Structure 1
Amino acid sequence: MNLKSIFKNVGPGPIIAAAFIGPGTVTVCTLAGVNFGFSLLWALGLSVISTILLQEISGRLGLITGKDLSQLIRSQTGNPILRYFSMGLVLIAIGLGNAAYESGNISGTNLGLQVFWEVPTISFSGMEIHLGNLILGIIAFGLLWIGNYKTLERALVGLVIFMSIAFTATAFVTKPDWSRVFAGFIPSWTDANLPTLVALIGTTVVPYNLFLYASLAKNRWSGSADIPWMRRDIVVSIVLGGIVSMAILIVGASNVSTEISSALDVSKGLEGVFGSYAKYFMGFGLMAAGLTSSITAPLAAGLVICGIMGWDQEIRSKTMRASMGVIVGMGLIFSSLGIKPIQLITLAQLANGVLLPLVSGWIIWIASQKSIMGDYRNKSLHTFIAVLIWLVTLLLGMKSIVAVLGIGN
C-alpha cells in the first residue's frame, strides 16, 4: 500500500474531528485541566473509544444501505406516529441545536481573532453589531456556498493540522509531569468532578456527527468493499482529535493563572513558558477550532434537514444552501447582535439529551439486523460493547435533562 493510495482514500473523518473540537470542547477541556489536573484524561480516552464505535456503525450503515440516518428515519415502516415523532425530534435537536451552537462557534472564533485584530463593534439603532462575528460567519458560509466537498475537506484538514500543532506543541513545551499524566488514565471520579466528566464525554460523542458521517461516508465511498477504508479513516481521525483534546486538558492543568473563565484566559498562566507569545498560541488554536465547527455545524444541519424532508442533499442544491444559510444566519443574528440565546440553547440541550441515547440505541439495533445489514451486521461481541457504550450515552442524556430542568436544585 503506497502513500498515494492512502491519501487518495482519505475520507470525511477529519471533518468529524473538526466538528467535535470546537470552542466548547476547548473550554471544557481547559477548565477540566485547570480544576482537576490530569485526573479526567481517562474520560477523554473513553469518549474517543465511544465515538469511534458509534461513528463506525453510522458509516457502515451509510455504505451498506446507501442512505444516511435521516433518510433511514424518514423511510422506516411501522407506526406513523412514532415515525413523525422521530422526524420532529431530529429536526428540533439538530436544526435548532446547531443554530444555537453555531452562535457559540462564531463567537468562539471571534474570541481567538481578537488576539490578532481588535475588530470594531458597530452601534446601530441601539444595538451593537460585532463586526468580527459577521466577517467570520460570512467566511464560513462562503466556504459552504462554494459547494465542493474536496475544497471543504482540504480547508478543514488544514485547520485541524494547524490546530493540532498549536495545542500539542503547547502541551509538550509546558513540560508536564508525565507520570501524573499517565496516572490520569486510571478511572476515578468524585461528586465534584462528575459534571465535568459528563461534559468531557458529551463534547466528543455528538449526535449530529452520527448523521454527518453516515451522509458523507456514503457519498465518499461505495458499498461494502470500502468499509476497511472507512474504518481506517474514522479511527485515525477520532484518535488524532482525541489527542488534541487531551493536549488542551494538559495545557489547562499546567496553567498557573488564578482567574479562568475561558480557554483564552489560560494564556495568562502560560506566559512564564511562552512569554508574550502565549496568547497567540491559544488565540490561534481557539480560532481554528471555532472556524472548523462553524463550517461543520450548518453542513450537518443542512444534510439532516434535507434528509428528513426528502429534499435534495447535494451541497450545491437550493435546498441545501437554503438550509445551511438559515443555520449560519441564525448563528450570526445571535452572535453579531450580542444576543445570548439561553432559552434556545437550553431547548437544544434538552432535545440532544433525549436524542443521543435514542439515536445511538437505534443505530445499534439497526446495525444488528441481518435483514438490513446482511453479513455486515454487528456481531454479538460488537453489540455487547455497543450496548455498554449506549449506557454511557443514556447517562449523558439523563444528566443533560436533569441539568436543564434543574431537578434536585
Structure 2
Amino acid sequence: MSTVATHKKTLFGPATLVTAAFIGPGTVITASLAGANYGYALVWALLFSVFATMVLQEMAARLGIVTGRGLGENLRELVQQPLLRWPLLLLVVVAIVVGNAAYQGGNISGAALGAEALFADNSVIYTWGIATGVNLWALLLGALAALILWFGQYKLIERSLIILVLLMSLAFIGTMVLTQPNLLALLQGALWPTMPDGAVLTVVALVGTTVVPYSLFLHAAAAAQKWPRHGIDTKEALHAARQDIAIAIPLGGLISIAIVSTAASAFFGSKLQLDNVAQLAQALTPLFGSAATWCLALGLMAAGLSSAITAPLAAAYALAGILGKPLNLKQPVFRLTWLFIIICGVVLSSLGIKPVSIIWFAQVANGILLPIICLCLLLAMNHAVLGQYKNNRKQNILGLLVLLVSLLLSWRSLALAFALL
C-alpha cells in the first residue's frame, strides 16, 4: 500500500489540530453566553464562522503542502522589503508568542475547572491545593501537555488531539441531547439570520473565537509535515487535506452549536444569570441531572487541554518559521518556545494571577494581526511559486470576504482591549 493511499484513508489529520485549537475555554464561554443571552438566535454566526475557517485553512494547508514550508517561512520569502518585513515579523512574534503565553493561562485554568468539577471537592488533588494555595490541577494538566509535546512526534500529537476532539464531541453533543434542545428553534436560528438587541459584539466574538491567526500557522506547518513535499503526490495530498478539513472543521462547529444549545436550554428565558461556565455546569444538575453536569465538565477539561497543547505548538511553528529554523519538534528554538508558553500558562493559572495587562497587549496585537495575516495569506496564495495551485478567482473572492470580516474582528478586539484601560 502506498503512502498516498494511507493518507487518503485517514479520517482525521492536521485540520483536527485547528479544531482542537479553536474549541477552547474561550469558545466554551462565548458560546455559553450566546445561548444563555440570545437562545438559538445566533447559531447562524457559528455556521458563518465554520465557512470562513474552512476557506482560510484550505489555503493554509495548500500553502504548506505545495511549498513544503510553514506560513512563517513563507512570510519571510513573501515580504522582502526590510522596512515592511521586520515590523511584520515582529508583530507576528508578539501576537502569536506573547499572546499565546497570556491565553495559555486561560486554557489551563479552563481544563482545571473541568477537572475539579469532575472529581469534586473530595479529591486528593483538591485537598492538596487547599493546603498549599496552588492549583495542582493546573500543574498536572500543564505537565501532561508538556509531556505530549516533549516526545516530539507529530503522529503522537495528532493522535492525542484527535482523542481530545472526539472526547469533546461526545461530551458536548451528549450534554445537548440530555438538555433536550428545541430543534425547530435551533434550525430557525441556523437558517434565518437575526440580530437581537445588543448582540453585535457577541456575534463578532463567536466568529473571533473560531477564525484565529495562529491556527493558520499551525495548519500550514502541520500539513507540510503530514504530507512532505516530494514525498507524496501533491494532488493526492491536497485531496486528502480538503477531506480532512471537510470533516474536522464542521465537527468543531457542531461542538460550538451543542454548547449554545445547552446554555439556551438551561438559561434562556429564565431569571438565572450566567457569569461563568462553572455556574452553567452546576445549574444543569437540578434541571437535567448529574449526567449533563458530568458531560459538560468533561468537555471543558478536554477543550482546555487541547488548546493548552495547540497554542504552544502554533507559537513554536510561527517563531521557528520566522527565524528560518527547521520545523522540527525536537529543535531547540522550537522546544524552548512551547516550553516557555506552557510554563507561563501554568504559573498564571496555578497561582491565580490575572494577566490583565498582558492579555490587553495580546488583544491589541492579535486585533492588528488577523487582517494582516489574512492579507498576507491571500498574497502568498497568488504567488508564482505555487504554480497551478495558486488561488483561482472564486477562492480569491471568498478570501476577500473573510478579509472584510477579519477587519471587523480587528475593530472588536481593539475596542475590547482599550475598554480595559
TM range (shorter): over 0.9
Shift of 1:312: 3.1
Aligned match of 1:388 in 396, 401, 409?
401
Residue among 218, 240, 250 paired with 1:212: 218
Which of 290, 306, 329 aligns to 1:315? It is 329
Deviation at 1:75, TM superposition (A): 2.6
In 1, distance between residues paired with 2:79 and 2:189?
A: 46
Which of 49, 55, 58 is 1:56 aligned to?
58
Question: Equivalent pairs: percent with the same residue?
Answer: 40
Task: Find out whether 1:154 has 2:168 as its counterpart.
Answer: no
- Could you tell me which residue of structure 1 aligns to residue 247 of structure 2? 236
- The answer to whether structure 1 residue 245 and structure 2 residue 250 are counterparts is no
The structural deviation recorded for 1:277 is 2.9
1:13-37 deviation per Cα after TM superposition (whole angstroms, max 9, x unaligned): 1111111100110111011000000
Residues 267-313 of structure 1 show CA distances to partners (whole Å, capped at 9, x for unaligned) of: 33322453233321111110010010011111111111111122232
Tell me which residue corresponds to 1:187.
193
Residue number in structure 1 paired with 2:315 = 301
Q: What's the offset of the Cα at 1:123?
A: 6.6
Q: Unaligned regions of 5+ residues in structure 1, if any? A: none
Read off the aligned partner of 1:247 and give its amino acid letter.
Answer: A
Give the Cα–Cα distance (whole angstroms) in 2 for the partners of residues 60 and 211 of structure 1: 12
Partner of 1:354: 368
Distance (whole Å) between structure 1 residues aligned to residue 48 and residue 10 of structure 2:
30
The structural deviation recorded for 1:196 is 0.7
TM-score, length basis structure 2? 0.91
Instruction: Give me the whole-angstrom Cα distance separating, in 1, the residues matched to 2:249 and 2:138.
Output: 28
State the secondary structure of the residue aligned to 2:98: helix
Superposition TM-score, scaled by structure 1 size: 0.94
Q: How does 1:244-283 map to 2 (within 5 A)?
A: 244-256=255-267, 258-272=272-286, 274-283=288-297
Alpha-carbon distance in 2 for matches of 1:143, 1:406: 37
Give the Cα–Cα distance (whole angstroms) in 1 for the partners of residues 219 and 333 of structure 2.
20
| Aligned equivalent of 1:285 | 299
Q: Deviations over 1:73-127 (max 9, x none)?
A: 2233532021000110000000001001110000000000111334232677xxx
How far residue 176 of structure 1 moved from its aligned partner, in angstroms, is 1.6
Residues 369-388 of structure 1 correspond to what in structure 2 (within 5 A)? 369=383, 371-388=384-401
Contact 1:268–1:278 (CA<8 Å) still a contact in 2? no
* Matched-pair contact (CA < 8 Å) for 1:173–1:273: no
Tell me if structure 2 keeps the 8 A contact 1:47–1:201.
Answer: yes
Question: What is the CA–CA distance in structure 2 between the aligned matches of 1:275 and 1:298, rounded to whole Å?
Answer: 36
Q: 1:253 to 1:27 in 2, by over 3 A?
A: same
* Secondary structure of the structure 1 residue equivalent to 2:289: helix
- Structure 2 alignment gaps of length 5 or more: none
> 4+ residue runs of structure 1 moved beyond 6 angstroms?
none
Secondary structure of the corresponding residue to residue 184 of structure 1: helix
One-letter amino acid of the structure 2 residue matched with residue 267 of structure 1: A
Counterpart of 1:363 in structure 2 is: 377
Partners of 1:44 and 1:246 within 8 A in 2 = yes
Structure 2 CA distance for aligned equivalents of residues 229 and 64 of structure 1: 13
Q: What residue is the counterpart of 1:336 in the other structure?
A: 350
Q: 1:17 to 1:203 in 2, by over 3 A?
A: same
CA RMSD of aligned residues (A): 2.1
Question: Which of 312, 315, 326 is 2:340 aligned to?
Answer: 326
Contact 2:266 2:283 (C-alpha < 8 Å) held by counterparts: yes
Q: What amino acid is the match of 1:29?
A: A
Q: Please, which moves more after superposition, 270-279 or 316-325? A: 270-279
Tell me how far apart the structure 2 counterparts of residues 5 and 299 of structure 1 sit (CA, whole Å): 22
Which residue in the other structure is 2:14 paired with?
A: 12
Say if 1:264 and 1:279, in contact at 8 Å, map to a contact too: no
- The answer (yes or no) to whether the contact 1:26–1:263 under 8 Å persists in 2 is yes
Please, which of 202, 205, 208 is the counterpart of residue 196 of structure 1? 202
Counterpart for residue 114 of structure 2 = 112
